[in-house]
Structure 1
Amino acid sequence: MTSSPPRRICVLGSSGAGKSTLALRIAETLKLPRIELDELHWGEDWTPADPETFVARVDEAIAGDSWVVDGNYQSKLGTRILERADAIVWVDPGRVTIMRQVIARTIRRAGTRQVLWNGNRETWDGFKIWKREESIFWWAWHSSGQARTKFGAIMGDPAFSHAQRRRLRTRSEIADFLEDLSAKSRST
């Protein structure tokens, strides 16, 4: 990374990889607004925003000079966030860690009835893997390989060479990354 911390950061990762947690910690460290794409995408009762509305919400959110975006949605948004980002961070802990984290998260959210975006809550249906795409566990397991291919391509794509790019695989790498950001933030 350069001597000053980035101001527009895109955090990518599979479902359950830890991207929301990392994005929150980056935003707190650098005192930047955090944009959670799930919040802009999901309406009440898990109703997705229509494509035009979703794109308009995201464009408005990333119009500023500083932000941390957490989420993927490239199939709906294209590369608009990646093109504006001055740093792209890929959280890639591996499938076993992803599954452990998604199971723990779902138990916590369903057990406490935690309110997520726009009044939505996760339910115990996440455990119903026979429902395939309706199960967060099935989704996390099956999408993690595809995500690794997609994010690997993004990290190597010269179209995004304007941005600093980091792939973080372990808690130690994440801690070092956050410490580096914090040090740069203190020195500016």
Structure 2
Amino acid sequence: MKKINVVGTSATGKSTFSRALATKLGLHYIELDNLFWLDDWQECPDEIFFARIEAEMVKAKNGYVIDGNYTRAIPVKWAEIDTVIWLDLPFPINLYRSIKRALSRAKSKQDLWPDSNNQESLWRMFGSDSIVWWMIKTHQKNRNKYIKMMSAPEFQHIQWIRLKTPKQVEHFLAQLDSYEYLV
């Protein structure tokens, strides 16, 4: 487990989990949102986005933890991947976390990622491109997508780890000190 992609619907805790995982395993952390979002909520063109992902992967001599979905980037981000960890939390937990996180971010006005000036706002939170609305629309769609991918022939070389509850997520991180997860 040296080249990992952590996936899951918005507000599952991918970033927090991925940072902790990268730290515990001594791997390079790659945050796809930071690579994708330009200032003022502009999206990065795919060719630049893919090149940024590849550059981060090349930097990671000992391996990496990629934080994020971005299905269109699968040919790049999964070229050498050995493990996908899917944080598949129940909808009510995701909804609660999504609202709580959006409110906290709107109140703090801090930039969401180091390489852009994007911030959450109450106006944005209740708009059509709200992260909360995005989570509501994509939760079941993401679940269906990853269930299909787990059994797809082209992804059988990947070790899939599906964590369905916050307790499973905590337990997984706690168990990383044991040898079984490092093999």
TM-score (norm 2): 0.90
Give the Å deviation of 1:121.
0.8
**Does the Cα contact within 8 Å between 1:36 and 1:71 map onto a contact in 2?**
yes
1:126-141 equivalence runs, <5 A: 126-128=124-126, 131-132=127-128, 134-141=129-136
Q: How far does the alpha carbon of each residue in 1:152-177 deviate from its partner, in whole angstroms, 9 at most, with x for none? A: 11222232222221000112211221
Tell me, yes or no, if structure 1 residue 90 matches structure 2 residue 86: yes
**Does the Cα contact within 8 Å between 1:126 and 1:137 map onto a contact in 2?**
no
Relative to structure 1, is the Cα distance of residues 83 and 154 closer, same or farther in structure 2, using a 3 angstrom cutoff? farther
Which aligned segments of 4 or more residues in structure 1 are displaced greater than 4 angstroms?
A: 185-188
**Does the Cα contact within 8 Å between 2:83 and 2:160 map onto a contact in 1?**
yes
Structure 1 unmatched ranges of 5 or more: 1-5
Q: Return the structure number with greater helix share.
A: 1
Specify the alignment match of 1:168 in structure 2. 163
**Does the Cα contact within 8 Å between 1:17 and 1:92 map onto a contact in 2?**
yes
Specify the alignment match of 2:67 in structure 1. 70
1:114 maps to which of 107, 110, 117: 110
> Distance between the aligned counterparts of 1:185 and 1:112, measured in 2?
40
Q: How far does the alpha carbon of each residue in 1:26-46 deviate from its partner, in whole angstroms, 9 at most, with x for none? A: 011112111000000011111
The percent of aligned pairs where both chains have the same amino acid is 32
Specify the alignment match of 2:100 in structure 1. 104
Q: Which secondary structure does the structure 2 equivalent of 1:88 belong to?
A: strand
> Distance between the aligned counterparts of 2:64 and 2:182, measured in 1?
20
Q: Which secondary structure does the structure 1 equivalent of 2:138 belong to?
A: helix
Specify the alignment match of 1:3 in structure 2. none
**Does the Cα contact within 8 Å between 2:50 and 2:76 map onto a contact in 1?**
no
**Does the Cα contact within 8 Å between 2:53 and 2:76 map onto a contact in 1?**
no
Specify the alignment match of 2:154 in structure 1. 159
Measured on the aligned residues, the alpha-carbon RMSD in Å equals 1.9
> Distance between the aligned counterparts of 1:35 and 1:84, measured in 2?
14
The number of residues matched between the two structures is 179
> Distance between the aligned counterparts of 1:120 and 1:173, measured in 2?
32
> Distance between the aligned counterparts of 1:51 and 1:15, measured in 2?
21
TM-score (norm 1): 0.87
Relative to structure 1, is the Cα distance of residues 187 and 105 closer, same or farther in structure 2, using a 3 angstrom cutoff? closer
> Distance between the aligned counterparts of 2:74 and 2:35, measured in 1?
15
Specify the alignment match of 2:19 in structure 1. 24
Relative to structure 1, is the Cα distance of residues 36 and 180 closer, same or farther in structure 2, using a 3 angstrom cutoff? same
Structure 2 unmatched ranges of 5 or more: none
Give the Å deviation of 1:115.
1.4
Q: Which secondary structure does the structure 2 equivalent of 1:62 belong to?
A: helix
Q: How far does the alpha carbon of each residue in 1:129-157 deviate from its partner, in whole angstroms, 9 at most, with x for none? A: xx33x122211101111111111112222
Give the Å deviation of 1:126.
4.1
> Distance between the aligned counterparts of 1:186 and 1:163, measured in 2?
15
